[in-house]
Amino acid sequence: MKLLIVSDSHGDNAAVTAAIKAEAPDMLIHLGDLEEDKDELEEAMGVPYKPCIFIKGNCDGYFRPADGLLESSVFELCGHRFFASHGHRQSVSSGFSGLFYTAAENDCDIALFGHIHVPVDEEWEGIRILNPGSISRPRGGSKKSYLILEMDEDGEYTASFKELK
Ligand SMILES: [Mn+2]
């Protein structure tokens, strides 16, 4: 199973759509700060839509309705339990301990977040902490990026960061 994980598109649905077209993923996870309607992205995932999870970022819901965007999500795939959150509520700008403890409390072994616009791949006591970076507004010298998780049914998986072409 191929997961496309993106974050912080900030109105640039075209960037997310380009990644969907390039990767043909089985599932899309957007970690927030869309600042745009999600319908276009669901459509790009194919009709009938492949599974999509949209998390609400700190910038969502001000100028556009944030209908169907989740504050956070816990879900299981291929033997792994995920915690997905934009990250501002876990204060990720000042470190990942809030994210780590929330993921641990929910028995998750993979924590996904956005918000800081910089790619992250760390492991804290068995919890993989991943941030795809921003697909439209990279910071800290990073490039416009996203994350691909290729997951086998037996639980093996690889994480690859990709730059938006
Ligand atoms: Mn943002």
CA 100 to chain centre: 16
User: Please, which residues bridge with residue 161 across strands?
Assistant: 147
89 alpha carbon – ligand 1 mean position (Å) = 13
Please identify which residue in the block is written with the tokens 């970022």: 57
155 alpha carbon – ligand 1 mean position (Å) = 31
50 alpha carbon – ligand 1 mean position (Å) = 25
Q: pLDDT tens-digit profile of 26-55?
A: 999 999 999 999 999 999 999 788 999 999
Q: Whole-number mean pLDDT of the chain?
A: 95
Q: pLDDT tens-digit profile of 53-64?
A: 999 999 998 766
Does the structure show a pLDDT above 70 at 65? Answer: no
Q: Which residues are in the CB-under-5-Å shell of ion ligand 1?
A: 8, 33
Q: Are 99 and 108 in contact (CB under 8 A)?
A: no
32 alpha carbon – ligand 1 mean position (Å) = 7
Domain 2-163 fold? Purple Acid Phosphatase; chain A, domain 2 (3.60.21)
Does the structure show a pLDDT above 70 at 116? Answer: yes
Q: pLDDT tens-digit profile of 99-112?
A: 999 999 999 999 99
Secondary structure element (H or E) that encloses residue 123, with its range:
strand 119-124
